[in-house]
A and B are shown apart, each in its own frame.
Chain A
Amino acid sequence: MLRIDGVSHAYGDVISLRDVELTLEPGEILCLLGPSGCGKTTLLRIVAGLETEFEGSVSFNGGNLRGIPAHRRGFGFMFQDFALFPHMSVAENVAYGLRRRGYSRRECRERAAALLDQVGLAGQDDRDVAALSGGQKQRVALARSLGPHPRLLMLDEPLGSIDAQLRDQLALDLRQIIKREGLSAIYVTHDHREAYAVSDRIAVMNIGSVQQHAKPRELYHSPRNSFVARFLGLRNIFPISEDSPFMRFAAYRKAQNQGFSAALVHPTGIFLEREPPSGAERFAATLSAVVFRGDSCDVRAALPGGTPLYFAAPELEAKPGEAIELFITREAIKLLRD
């Protein structure tokens, strides 16, 4: 439905997007995930028509969007700081896009009320937007961008200014509302947990290009390169070397010839149990640190030679400094490109 084809963009001499290729299917939520400055917001603004100087093409339902101004695209955009109109009431904000599309005053009022009801702000129509809390502002902004039935919804760090505690719940709410409206959406964030919760597919971006484009589970279990793995919070990444303890794995031994430069030992494949999963290799190690997290523990252990491994484990009896045994499954070894 949406096709981003060879899009490049630069701010002066600084290249912000480099030959980006992406597609979006109807009803799908695509997440652009990456650190600040990776170009994700710029890409979003190009799709919205807010940024007009770029190379490549963006087409929607087969029609090239170049030259169509933002206000004629019929897309919705939710801004990072919400960009609510401070001189209008909550309902006036929500109704603004409807007014611009020529709905009558009565229709606007009714649809605004319905939308506010849907985002959990029923009866708040006449409030001053300045008096709202961060979470309420976020919901008004969502209602406003949903108002005119956008053909495509774009969200730029919509939870960026929301407390971390509320974020998980709101991310889920956002996904449910977008799905209920049957919308296609592009969602920009730098938080991988938020991306997992909201999206159907994730495109991880770094310095202007897409590093990997995959479903959340696939992304987490098989990151393509060191950047993606690190950005997802995976830490057991080691350069390929002949004297590595992981030479015991067949896949690892073949890595260099196949052009891989590093290996990830996925934490989900590291176990401390006495009954190891079949096919797991046993390693002697020293327990370095245990951080209690409530439902589990974050563990750091050192293999002989000092290689540190991070993983999660249920409650354990050993104390830091003690010798332990751990098991690594064959599937835990993931080979990474540059």
Chain B
Amino acid sequence: MAQVLNSRGPVTGTATRAKKRRPFLLDLYSTAVGKKYVMAITGIGMMGFVLFHMIGNLKMYQGADDLNKYAEFLKKLLYPLAPKEAVLWILRGGLITMLVLHLHAALTLTRLNRHARPVKYQSARDYQVASFASRSMRLSGLVVIAFLVWHLLDLTFGAVNTVGADGEFVRAEVYDNVVRSFDRPVVAVFYIIANVLLGIHLFHGSWSIFQSLGWNNPRFNKWRRAFAGGFATVVVVGNISFPVAVMAGIVG
């Protein structure tokens, strides 16, 4: 009856396995638990980005001048201590790295999970507690990526923005670009849908972080879900207010 799953040498907690020595971080990243650490840490970094991106954009409500000056200010972070745009590029580099690592971890873990259950359940599962958010992380993540690409093409590169009266996309005119973009209802609706999905992704992600990093303590455990809900709500409500404000004529 006994089936041999995998033939393997003796493995015990005390017998030292002759392991190939790898650089420490690579060694950590080679395991699923290690990958979840990377997932969580890059997640925290990107949570910081979406929060400050939303807060910065609130300048929109103070008028065109304030928003455009804020964009200029970002280019001159720490200037003249550092050259113009230097700090901005360091931040961008960090974000791109975090995004790539987050994606790579997600991809490899998904592959591991598929491999762990090659034959699916043949009858319907009756999930007890898995939320819509937790079960749609891959979908919501992909929509957010698609949105990110569109968002950059729209407001950074101007490739899919409509041009102003002068017939050219001027990147520094942030306020006008935002207003022109959201004057197209389809764009505004896509923006809103993508942000709701971002919120759903954040809701599960920002709770999940605590588990993945082993931050579990009876003192604060009851706040973890509340934090996740609060954080996702603040980001989503802030972000969605922009297209709504443009369409309602409050901004523009």
Does A pair with B? no
